[in-house]
Structure 1
Amino acid sequence: MTVSLRNVRDRMILRESVDGEIGNIDLSPEPVAVDRDDGTITVYWNIADSVVDASLEYTVELPAEAADGDVVTFEGTVESSDCRWSVGGDETATVVEDIFQRVLERGAVTAADIEVAIERDDITPKEVARLRRAWLKGD
């Protein structure tokens, strides 16, 4: 999941909640603090010198009982000293167990697809090679 904020300045807080455990995170610019707890991540930024764009990218570890077709919900809010608003964009994602089905539905191979393919035991080296070739071509 990726959340992008434009024109961040002064003190800003981004709070994201998801039905699952938040895994790896990547933030830009460097925040003052990050709090992760039970499917919620809160990022505190203090941009003193200028206006910048900020982003949070994170992975979600779903519960073991999550099955193909289940829907995962996301909810995000941004707060400043005088305002609070909801994060726009997709609020749900459907669990797709078959990585090839996901790639077919989307029509492109992402870096996240490659990461998942490498980590999973049920994907053969031949299937990983097909994904790798498609990723290199940008298909």
Structure 2
Amino acid sequence: MAQDTEWTPVSHDTCDQVAGPFYHGTRADLAVGELLSAGFRSNYRDSVVMNHIYFTTIAKGAGLAAEMARGEGRPRVYVVEPTGPFEDDPNVTNKKFPGNPTRSYRSAQPLRVVGEITEWEAYDAEFVRQLRAFVASGSGEIIN
């Protein structure tokens, strides 16, 4: 997001103004039509059961989430559509950069799988390793 662009928060009331496609990264093997929902343990803190399901408009970001996801399967990035209202992800919005440059969102309502992409721009392996170490250290707050 360019610095000279004015950012407007995305809320349940304004989410219909956000254009997809939307992506969700995971290690789960899912089929078109399946629903992804909240209620599972966080990939970042085992003691937290998530109240929301997270997604982004940036395939690379969903790929990183897939790399960080729990499970034995390969990292997967699904094209999803929200089934209800959503808002900016407060875990990243305005944390390091103004606005929502990661284009990350969350919803208490399920996401419907409408497809899968098999290639996306990956993050550097060293960055992923460092992020895993950061997560393992228990650093960072989760806004649930």
**TM-score, L = length of structure 1:** 0.27
Larger relative contact order (Cα-Cα within 8 Å, sequence gap ≥ 6): 2
Larger Cα Rg: Structure 1 or Structure 2? 1
Q: Which structure has the highest helix share of the two?
A: 1
**TM-score, L = length of structure 2:** 0.26
